[in-house]
Every structure is written in structure tokens, then in C-alpha cells.
Amino acid sequence: MEPSSEESFTSHIKSSKLRNQWSWLCHIIKRYQKLGILPRWIFSSGQPVSLPFFILLLFFILSIGVVWRRSSHCSHIFIDLGSNVGDSIEKFVDPYNHQYRHSYLAKIVREHKWQAKDFCIYGFEGNPRFKEKLANLEKFLGSVTKRIQIFTETVVTTQNGLVPFYLDENSYQHNFWGSSLIASHRDVWMSGKKSIQVYGIDFSSFLAQVLGCSFRSCKDRRKAKTVIVQMDVEGEEYSILRQLLMRNMLCGVIDYLLVEFHSHAFRLDDNTTVKGAPPLEFEKCFHWLAQHPECKTTVITQGLVDDYQNV
């Protein structure tokens, strides 16, 4: 029986006097590979290639520097949940562009005099239709932002793992904006409830990781000075916001929350709620909680629909 690549790699390490150092270093480097920092060819066979120890050590030192730079310098953060074609990110980065003069988001950016060069920007989009466009946008805006990373074929929800994502295939003029995690969404239902598998991210955990804090400490110990979240997730906002509140990751953690509620997408013509709809009554409760003087999170819901209709 021929030894597997893993067995060969292990045998090579055991024959080296630097066995312990290799084991430790390869374990660490494999973790950093997930961040996309090290060259992919190092892991072409699933295990680090047999490079001299000092070369891998150099890669490790360089990766530490990159991770430190990326994580410790994000004093201002903008997160776009439901990026679609990336128009909200474009409005945030270039709010003075003439074509965005009527955009509510661009108006807010202008009023606060936020500048993209000071911000780390994250985006999430589940529809694979926009993967290439978002990849190009990420590359194009890399030089004018502190950092930008757009996660494609990825959605935000309340837990990590693969999830079914239902596609809107009818709203061509609006870039299929009704794609949703919820099968009872009106645009999904009209499209025949066709679904694909995408990766779901626990948003509150992601936010805590980006801010470098725990659920209990984020309110007082977050590393960022400004946190702005744009949320257009076609019904999933009810679950995400509820979890943010329960984990103390909203009030005092997010400074500005721009959210579109989608109760209209789960109601019939007679105003009755469709079966399988999210807890729409949470919307009123949320507004009441967010307006509490101790919350210190500015919640904006008005004027955002016009932004999407003008895309």
C-alpha cells in the first residue's frame, strides 16, 4: 500500500531534528491560510509543502504582520449586508458622485464627512450571479479604502454553516433584489422557490471578531471608533436583529444602523401574513427598544427603499 501524502509529510517531519518546530509552525500557518494571506501553492496537496524551516518561518512572520495590520488598524468600519451588485458600497465610497445625489445613504455619508480611506469595508452577498462583479469591485476599491473584503456566495444569519438560499429570478430590472433565506418571500415564491446552497455567517459573532471583543465586553471594549451597518437581507433582519439585542451587540456597539424591513414581502393583497413569514411584530418592538435613550444606536429606516429602487 502506497503511503498517503499525509503519511509522507509526517515521515519527512519525523526525520528532521526540527520536528517540534515544524509541527507547531505548520499548524499555525494552516490557520493563516484560511485568511488568504499565504500563497495557495503552499497547500496545493492539502498539507504544507516540504520547504526549509526558515522559509516557512519567514512566511509566518510576514503573515503575522499582515494580520496585525488588518485587524488593529480598523478604527472605522462599514458593513454592507446584502450587497447585491455593490451599489451601497459604491455610494459609501463615492458619496459626491453626481449619480448618487439623491441617495439617502450617500447623503448621510456627506453629512458626517466620512471618508472611505479611513474605513475597513465588509460586504456579504449570497447570489452567485454577482460574484465576478463584486470581485472586480473589491479589487477596484482596494486602493481607496483602508481595507475592503466582499464575501460572495455568503449570507449573514444567526449561525454558521451551509444554508439554502432562495433565488429571485423575476426582478431583472432591480438586479433580482428579492433573493432571500426565507422561502415564503413574495419574489422567491413567484420564482418557483428555487434554492442553492451558500455559506451562512453568524453575524453577531462576525461583528465581535471584527471589533476584537466578546459579547459581554463589546459595548465598552470595542476597538473601532465608528461602526456603520447597512442591512438589506430580505426578511432575515428580524432574526439577526433579535440575536444582536440578546447578545448585547447592538446598542452601544453599532453606531449607525441603516435597515430596511421587509414586512411588505410577506403580506398578501388583503394584508394577511403568508405562512412561514418571519416574526413581523418584532419590528415595532425593535423600534421601541432602539429609541431608548440608553441604546445610543442611531437607527435609520426611512428613505432607504428609494435607494434600491433607483439602482
Mean pLDDT of 21-40: 49
Q: 30-39, 60-69, 106-115: which has the minimum mean pLDDT? A: 30-39
CA atoms of 281 and 260, how far apart (whole Å) = 15
The whole-model pTM stands at 0.72
The per-residue pLDDT for range 2-18, each reduced to its tens digit, is 455 445 444 444 444 44
What percentage of residues in the chain have a pLDDT greater than 90? Answer: 41
Which pLDDT belongs to residue 176? 66
CA atoms of 203 and 80, how far apart (whole Å) = 11
Which pLDDT belongs to residue 72? 52
Q: Which residue has the higher pLDDT, 45 or 311?
A: 45
Q: Flag whether pLDDT at 218 surpasses 80.
A: yes
**Confidence tier at 88 by pLDDT (50, 70, 90):** very high
Which fold, 74-309? Rossmann fold (3.40.50)
Which pLDDT belongs to residue 15? 45
The phi-psi region of residue 161 (left if phi > 0; otherwise alpha if psi is between -120 and 50; otherwise beta) is left
Q: Flag whether pLDDT at 164 surpasses 70.
A: yes
Contacts of 17 (CB under 8 A, 6+ apart): none
Which pLDDT belongs to residue 304? 53
89 with 239: CB under 8 angstroms? no
Q: What is the domain partition of the chain in residue ranges?
A: 5-70, 74-309
Mean pLDDT of 74-82: 95
Mean pLDDT of 197-215: 93
165 with 188: CB under 8 angstroms? no
* Apex 131 CA angle, 133 and 254, nearest 5: 90
The per-residue pLDDT for range 96-152, each reduced to its tens digit, is 999 998 888 999 999 999 999 999 999 999 999 999 999 999 999 999 999 999 999
Q: Flag whether pLDDT at 294 surpasses 50.
A: yes
**Confidence tier at 168 by pLDDT (50, 70, 90):** confident
Q: In 10 A of CB 16, how many CB atoms?
A: 12
Output the CA–CA distances (angstroms, integers) from residue 40 to 33, 48, 151, 256, 290, in the order listed: 8, 10, 18, 37, 44
Q: Which residue has the higher pLDDT, 119 or 223?
A: 119
**Confidence tier at 311 by pLDDT (50, 70, 90):** very low
The per-residue pLDDT for range 243-282, each reduced to its tens digit, is 999 999 999 899 999 998 877 667 666 666 766 666 667 7
For the chain, what is the mean pLDDT? 77
Q: Which residue has the higher pLDDT, 246 or 171?
A: 246
**Confidence tier at 308 by pLDDT (50, 70, 90):** very low
Which pLDDT belongs to residue 307? 52
Q: What is the CA radius of gyration of the chain?
A: 22
